[in-house]
Amino acid sequence: MKFFIDTANLAQIKEANDLGILDGVTTNPSLMAKEGIKGEQAIMNHYKTIAELVDGDVSAEVISTDFDGMVAEGKKLAAIRPNIVVKVPMIKDGVKALKWFSDNNIKTNCTLVFSAGQAILAAKAGANYVSPFIGRIDDGGWDGVQLIEQIAGIYTIQGFETEILAASIRNPLHIIKCAEAGADVCTCPLDSILGLLKHPLTDIGLAKFLADAKGVK
Ligand code: G3P
C-alpha cells in the first residue's frame, strides 16, 4: 500500500518525505485555504513547490463544476509538472471530464466518493485513482472501511485498474484497516502516519536496552 500525505503544509510534507516512506501528496481547496494560499497564481505556485518536493503523484483539485471549466483548469494544472494528478469531483460533468483526461493521457483522481456505484463510474471513466472519504462515512454512522473492501472486491472481479485511494483518514487504525481491506493508497494526515510507530512496549523496551547497555560499557 502506498502512503500519501493529505495536506498542503510544506513543513509536514517535508517531514513525511524525510521519513523515506512517502509516495505522494493529496490536497484539496480546504487544505489550501488552511495554509492561507489564495488566488490562482499563488495556488499554482504552491502546487509547483509541492510537486518539486516529492517524487510521487500530487493531486491538485479543479474548482470548476462544468465540463469545459474542469478540462481547462485540469490542463493548466497538469502542465505544472508531470507528477501532478488532476483531482475531479464525482459529479456528472466530472465523469465526462475524467473520460476526457483519460483519453488525453492526463492522470486523474476522482474525489468525493461515498458509494460503490460512484467508484464503478470513476473506474469506467478511466480515473487513475478513486478517493472514498472513509472518515466522513464513519461520521455519518456508516462504515468507511467496509466501502473500501466492497470497492476492492468489485475492482478485482471486474479487472478495473483504478487505484483505491482511501481518503479522509482520521487515525492510525484507519490506515491499518484500509491496508487489510485492500486499499492501494492511504492519504493521511501526518499525525496518523506518525501514530503508526507508537507503542508503549517499544519505549519501555528501548529504555531497558539503553540502561543495560550503559551497565556493560
Ligand atoms: O482527502 C480528503 C480529505 O482531505 C478529507 O478529509 O478529514 O476533511 O474528511 P476530512
Residue 181: pLDDT above 80?
Answer: yes
CA 9 to centroid of ligand 1, rounded, Å = 14
Q: Quick one: pLDDT at residue 215?
A: 82
> What positions carry a catalytic annotation?
87
45: which 3 cell numbers?
505556485
Pocket test for ligand 1, best of 59, 136, 171, 193 (most atoms within 8 A of CB): 136
CA 9 to chain centre: 14
pLDDT in tens, 161-178: 999 999 999 999 999 999
The Cα–Cα gap between 136 and 140 comes to 6
DSSP for residue 167: B
Q: What is the pTM of this model?
A: 0.95
pLDDT in tens, 30-71: 999 999 999 999 999 999 999 999 999 999 999 999 999 999
